[in-house]
């Protein structure tokens, strides 16, 4: 009897801890703490029921894709491919994976491939996904005109569910998140509700925040033209798209950034930098105040 009671208590405690881990992951995601969210999902997802595990892993992939780290972006892409290959097309989340994959391709400039994958997503979609599909259709067709995709997207737009959704008056509550939407900044509640659907990588669809982050204060000391100065370097990338990804994430945080192209004998690097500071100490102090809390790596570089 004691053994059974112990087992029941252990099970209840484990379930409670798992629920808290998943709630923490969602909370970090909504707050834009991408790496923290990804780490929490990686703990929670393996313990999720089979019916929910794939969707949990999709959240993990989306969090990784928005960290601004090129290596993690590649990891996210590989994980997404693996998830698509191991998920049944009968599951609603399967088409959401394909939608996310299409947007990955679009962001990397593989527009024709994005169109092909979006056609697959439409073919495997459920009627209730019509609104999301139409949003992704608009994004892909604007960059990759495609006759077959255009016909597929028109059929989605003509669907009764899409027309009904468009005719509804504005809701008093935020609409459910979807693979084509970027999450709006929201206050983090003590026990946030689980987001309804995974959200696609930020670079594809521009966010529409309810409030714009205030830009970080710039150094008060003006540096004369041509004079040496210090700057903070956040990353050096061999692929320009990865540098732009980091720069866009910086802008979302209200931080200015620039990309410097450095052409070498064997390769070209794209350097993401921020700020101009009169001293190394001023640069590092700025980094400690503004970048460290965002878990961004930085290095002080002198420019002449």
Same domain, 37 and 160: yes
Counted domains in the chain: 2
Cβ distance 249 to 258 under 8 Å?
A: no
* Angle at CA of residue 207, ends 140 and 294, nearest 5°: 120
- Does 119 lie in the same domain as 48? yes
**Is the residue at 2 inside a domain?**
no
Kindly list the averaged pLDDT for each block of 10 residues, start to end, along the chain of length 304.
Answer: 46 44 78 86 86 88 86 89 90 87 85 90 84 84 86 84 54 36 33 45 39 41 78 87 86 88 84 91 87 81 86
Q: State the pLDDT at residue 107.
A: 81
In a domain, 76, yes or no: yes
Q: What CATH number does the domain containing 79 carry? A: 1.25.40.10
User: In terms of domains, do 112 and 24 share one?
Assistant: yes
| Half-sphere exposure in the Cβ direction for 37 (13 Å, CA) | 24
Task: Provide the pLDDT for residue 259.
Answer: 93
The residue out of 167, 187, 216 marking a domain boundary is 167
Token duo for residue 71? 């290596």
One domain, residues 20 and 159: yes
Q: Is 232 helix (H, G, I), strand (E, B) or coil?
A: strand
Domain CATH code at residue 293: 3.30.70.1070
| Among candidate residues 167, 187, 208, the one where a domain is terminated | 167
The domain in which residue 283 lies consists of 229-303
Same domain, 29 and 132: yes
This prediction has a pTM of 0.52
* Nearest Cα to Cα of residue 184 among 31, 10, 47, 67: 31
- Closest by Cα among 180, 93, 96, 190 to 139: 180
Q: Do 42 and 127 fall within a single domain?
A: yes
Let me know if residue 160 belongs to a domain: yes
Q: Tell me, what's the pLDDT at 166?
A: 56
Residues 148 and 46 reside in one and the same domain: yes
| Same-domain check for residues 163 and 272 | no
Q: What is the DSSP string of 90-113?
A: TSHHHHHHHHHHHHHHHHTT-HHH
Do 155 and 299 lie in one domain? The reply is no
Q: Are residues 271 and 132 in the same domain?
A: no
């Amino acid at each position: 009897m004691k053994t059974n009671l112990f087992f029941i208590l252990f099970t209840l405690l484990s379930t409670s801890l798992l629920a808290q881990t998943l709630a923490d992951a969602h909370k970090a995601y909504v707050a834009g703490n991408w790496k923290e969210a990804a780490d929490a999902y990686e703990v929670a997802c393996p313990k999720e029921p089979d019916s929910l595990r794939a969707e949990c892993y999709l959240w993990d992939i989306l969090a990784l894709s928005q960290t601004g780290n090129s290596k993690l972006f590649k990891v996210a892409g590989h994980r997404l491919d693996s998830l698509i290959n191991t998920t049944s097309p009968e599951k609603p989340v399967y088409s959401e994976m394909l939608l996310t994959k299409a947007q990955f391709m679009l962001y990397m400039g593989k527009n024709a491939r994005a169109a092909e994958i979006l056609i697959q997503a439409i073919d495997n979609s459920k009627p209730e996904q019509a609104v999301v599909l139409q949003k992704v259709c608009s994004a892909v067709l604007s960059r990759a005109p495609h006759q077959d995709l255009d016909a597929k997207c028109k059929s989605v737009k003509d669907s009764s569910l899409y027309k009904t959704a468009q005719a509804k008056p504005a809701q008093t509550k935020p609409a459910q998140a979807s693979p084509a939407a970027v999450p709006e900044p929201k206050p983090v509640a003590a026990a946030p509700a689980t987001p309804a659907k995974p959200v696609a990588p930020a670079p594809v669809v521009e966010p529409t925040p309810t409030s714009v982050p205030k830009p970080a204060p710039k150094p008060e000391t003006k540096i004369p033209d041509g004079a040496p100065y210090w700057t903070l370097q956040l990353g050096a990338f061999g692929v320009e798209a990865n540098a732009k990804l980091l720069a866009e994430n910086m802008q979302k945080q209200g931080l200015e950034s620039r990309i410097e192209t450095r052409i070498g004998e064997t390769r070209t690097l794209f350097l993401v930098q921020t700020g101009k500071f009169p001293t190394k100490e001023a640069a590092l102090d700025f980094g400690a105040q503004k970048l460290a809390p965002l878990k961004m790596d930085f290095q002080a570089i002198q420019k002449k």
